Chain A
């Protein structure tokens, strides 16, 4: 028994996720309805205890003592022959009073103080928090025992003790919400418009404290019920002959060997009530988005066992292809929804030593494509069609163990945020040498030496020393160099780089791009470079595939794409780039916004935003070389690709 607290992960959830319309799904209702019924029954028993009880709960009848359940006494009798059912019903009143008193007091004491010290800070905060820490470091029951020693025993005094004890939980919750929320940008905005501290606290922050507060109330109610029972059980809570579930268990314990059944009704009543309260709390916590977010369910396997081929005709094979992707389709299940496609009819080639840029805005499916090639879409996503051929092997046909073997050695990946893609718990060197030991079977010693070499190769000064650093001790640029060293440690044939410079400053970005180039010249791997930035793609890529709404809309060698874009979306993106645009505002725009997966038009997906849309655009469009050219390097998904004159970047 001690003050329950929201776990650290839940208490600091950002406010941005708090307001969400709760969606009542069947599984939720299956929890909510029984729980609510239990609590309703409890409340009715508490309110109408006299009317509902068959006997007076205090009426003794020593002749009938310690009987089992019978028609006369449904739940039997206790040591003094009192009717257990009647005592149970009256006990529920005690439970309700106890929960209401202690929780109410805890909220009334804890929340205002927590809000105050959280906002005020300074000495007030320091002293209060030290006192709270002191109280929390005494086992809760001892705190209650000391307070009861001062006040004396009895229901209300015991609940006063519990109220003080649990107020520390509310105090800490309110304080932590204030501390988190006051750093939020919307509070900054409120200060800028001139809202007073009081107004900010009451009108802006307090609204966001309500959801975690409600969850904390349910936790506390459950804890109070258990604590009341415990205190009454050891005889310092509710005093006999008054009927509470805890005192009934006290009696039951004394007569365990004569009538074990006595312990069952009050115990079950406590369990069921606390369970109902806790389950409701869980549902509330999930519905306000502060629980653990589970990965979405994986969409069902496609009906045919073999992964189907569909869409655009296969691209002609080239001699030096390292990677061929044909007709790739990926479906993802959004939370609680049906699977929707996020990548469709995806086909491209990358030659050895070549870099293909996969360029698109958020939601275009470019990152999912990269992960799909690795077999790392994760729960919630599934490849439903297509072939991914790396050096002659179809990766999608490999068993999981085969794919696992290929990862790291044949195909490797560098991620966007270097500070989160390295494990914070291990030194950077150990994370590289681990790969070398497992994938290449090097000895510990040899792996470490090679690690230091690799770290040196990616341009980090003092490599032997830096190998022993933890990720958080490195700057973003240095961490990304480490991630690159690890990805290339086993000399993969294909390197997938997912926005590897987006999180970095522009001068660091330039250094990392140079590093990619140098390493590719040296090692000759094929590279798939995923980015939203056309300028970065222009710098690093040989060819570019532009993605929009899950499909490639145009693919071309980099010079041709920039000089002569064929797809209106490509042209639009180019002219919207800051250095592409000319002159002063108004700057060129693509009207509207990118539709989210599941809301794509059925025909050409860009048509609703396209200035050149024609009636024929209402039908799905294939990626084709167009009529005038047979150049397989140059494909466009637009029925007007050949008759439009689009502005080039320059």
Chain B
């Protein structure tokens, strides 16, 4: 297992490098001159030159990249062009809200998706199966932010069970945190629940037709045991892969759902950065999001190795 983790960590280095090159060169393509953005049109040519020099914009591309990378490795992603806030600080300040939302919806998706998927797979063609499949198909067609609007209008505006907007940090008030995160997490988790339910169902239906399931039943093991001990573990193998991918999707979806509930997370930071063409901020957000995604991937790789002996390095 340690070997597996080591291999995975090693494989992440080139990936991170490629992401950093991509991000850096893409943001270098931004059409506007950052200097204009910072000091406006009024500044003299001299001022312009000073700012350019200060930002290192006169250096060749590769030098700028290596310089940026060198500082990034030390945790310094530069400062915003606009408010002189350190990018790392800004992102880390916003991160807890986005992560809370993402992982709450992961939890919802796993519970709903596994439950519905297994229930449907056990009785193919039954009403449970049809209901779950139909529900999943609709769930995947509903935009998360619209579902968020509907939830907010019913449960927050009309019924007033939950706050309509805002985010309460967990450390500040756990109950408040829970209330503030429930509706957005439901809205965000809907389509992933649906996707997982479909994946679980198809994996379970496939696994239940395997020889080893028949063989386990031939040994007189109870259906319960066959399903939950023999089938589920194998069915989870492809599900874990999909879940890993879906967490990335959720992280992206969170950026939009945050807007519905006026949660000050990464989403508003990113959108503002794009509007203002705040290059260091965009670069920083992308890099940190990728780090989060890689953390998730490492975790799923470990889970994958645990449930699938074939994936362990010999």
Question: B19 contacts A137, CB within 8 Å?
Answer: yes
In the bound complex, how far is the Cα of B237 from the Cα of A618, in angstroms?
54
Q: Which of B36-44, B52-60, B106-114, B140-148 interfaces with chain A?
A: B140-148
Q: Per-position contact with A for B138-156: 1 when CB-CB < 8 Å, else 0?
A: 1011111110011011000
Given A234-B255, A234-B267, list of 19 further CB < 8 A pairs? A8-B238, A134-B22, A138-B19, A138-B248, A138-B290, A141-B252, A141-B253, A145-B274, A146-B26, A236-B271, A249-B146, A275-B138, A404-B221, A407-B220, A408-B220, A415-B211, A423-B234, A425-B230, A426-B233
B249, A260: Cβ atoms closer than 8 Å: no
Q: With A404-B222, A407-B218, A408-B218 given, is the CB distance from A139 to B255 under 8 Å?
A: yes
**Which of B63-71, B88-96, B302-310 lies at the interface?**
B302-310
For the residues of A in contact with B, the DSSP-based class is helix
Query: Is B128 part of the contact surface with A, judged by Cβ < 8 Å?
Result: no
**Given that A278-B140, A421-B212, A472-B309 are known contacts, is A249 also in contact with B145, CB under 8 Å in the complex?**
yes
Q: Which residues of B contact A2 (CB under 8 A)?
A: 245, 248-249, 252
B50: Cβ under 8 A from any A Cβ: no
B267 touches A294 (CB 8 A): no
A residues near B220, Cβ cutoff 8 Å: 404-409, 435, 438-439
Q: Which of A263-292 contact B (CB under 8 A)?
A: 263, 266-267, 270-272, 274-275, 278-279, 282, 291-292
The verdict on A646 contacting chain B, using a C-beta distance below 8 Å, is no
- Cα A371 to Cα B143 in complex, Å, equals 47
Which residues of chain A come closer than 8 Å to B290, judged between CB atoms? 134, 137-138
Cα A409 to Cα B252 in complex, Å, equals 54
Residue pair B309, A271 in contact (C-beta under 8 Å): no
**Which of A372-380, A533-541, A588-596 is the contact stretch?**
A372-380
Q: Are B143 and A142 in contact (CB under 8 A)?
A: no
Known contacts: A137-B248, A376-B218. The answer to whether A233 contacts B212 by CB under 8 A is no
Query: In the complex, A133→B216 CA distance in Å?
Result: 39
Check A597 for interface membership: any CB of B closer than 8 A: no
Count the B residues whose beta carbon is within 8 Å of the partner chain — how many?
84
For residue B251, CB closer than 8 A to chain A, the reply is yes
Q: Residue A152 at the B interface, CB < 8 A?
A: yes
B-side contacts of A487, CB under 8 Å:
218-219
User: Can you offer 6 A-B residue contacts whose CB atoms are under 8 A?
Assistant: A2-B249, A137-B19, A146-B27, A253-B149, A275-B141, A408-B218
B203 within 8 A of A: yes
Closest chain-A Cβ to B40's Cβ sits at a distance in Å of 20
Question: Across the interface, do A139 and B206 meet the contact criterion of CB distance under 8 Å?
Answer: no
Contact A135 B141 (CB under 8 A): no
Nearest Cβ distance between residue A99 and chain B, in whole angstroms?
Answer: 14
How far apart are A154's CB and chain B's nearest CB, in angstroms?
13
Chain B residue at minimum C-beta to C-beta distance from A410:
B220
Q: Is B256 an interface residue (CB 8 A)?
A: yes
Given contacts A145-B274, A292-B201, are A267 and B260 in contact (CB under 8 A)?
A: no
Instruction: Name the interface residues of A198-247: CB closer than 8 Å to any CB of B.
Output: 222, 226, 229-230, 233-236
Interface members, chain B 165-221 (any A CB < 8 Å): 199, 201-203, 205-206, 209-212, 214-221
The answer to the question of B300 belonging to the interface, with a C-beta cut-off of 8 Å to chain A, is no
How near does chain B come to A202, taking the closest CB pair, in angstroms? 31
Asked if residues B217 and A407 are in contact (CB atoms below 8 Å), the reply is yes
Least CB separation from B296: chain A residue: A137
> In the bound complex, do residue A420 and residue B149 qualify as a contact, i.e. CB atoms below 8 Å apart?
no
- Which size bracket describes the interface of A in this complex? 35 or more
Asked if B27 contacts A1 (CB within 8 A), the reply is: no
CA distance A489 to B247 in the complex (A): 44
What 1/0 mask marks residues of chain A from 385 to 416 whose CB sits below 8 Å from any chain B CB?
A: 00000000000000000001111110011011
Among the listed A134, A142, A439, which residue makes an inter-chain contact with B18, where contact means beta carbons less than 8 Å apart?
A134
A7 contacts partner chain B, Cβ-Cβ < 8 Å = yes
User: CB-defined interface of A130-167 with B at 8 Å, one 1/0 digit per residue?
Assistant: 11011111111110011111101000000000000000
B137 at the interface (CB under 8 A from A): yes
Known: A9-B206, A236-B274. A230 touches B211 (CB 8 A): no
- Among A4-20, those with CB < 8 Å from B are 5, 7-9
Residue A638, interface by CB 8 Å:
no
| B233 close to A421 (CB less than 8 A) | no
Could you say which residues of chain B place their CB within 8 Å of the CB of A134? 15, 18-19, 22, 290
Any A CB within 8 A of the CB of B23: yes
- In the complex, the answer to whether A438 meets B206 with C-beta atoms within 8 Å is no
In the complex, are the beta carbons of B218 and A294 less than 8 A apart? no
Nearest-Cβ distance from residue A106 to partner chain B, whole angstroms? 17
Q: What are the 4 tightest A-B residue pairs by CB atom distance, in nearest-first order?
A: A408-B220, A139-B252, A407-B220, A141-B252
Q: In the bound complex, what is the Cα–Cα distance between A292 and B121 (angstroms)? A: 11
Q: Are B15 and A133 in contact (CB under 8 A)?
A: yes
Query: Contacts A279-B137, A408-B220 given: A8-B241 contact, CB under 8 Å?
Result: yes
- Bound together, the chains give a CA A113 to CA B217 distance in angstroms of 47
Q: Are A435 and B219 in contact (CB under 8 A)?
A: yes
- Residues of A close to B29: CB separation below 8 A: 150
Given known A-B contacts A139-B255, A142-B270, A292-B202, A421 and B211 have beta carbons under 8 A apart: yes
B212 touches A137 (CB 8 A): no
Given A142-B252, A149-B274, A420-B211, decide whether A263 and B146 contact each other with a Cβ distance below 8 A. yes
B77 at the interface (CB under 8 A from A): no
Any chain A CB within 8 A of the CB of B293? Answer: yes
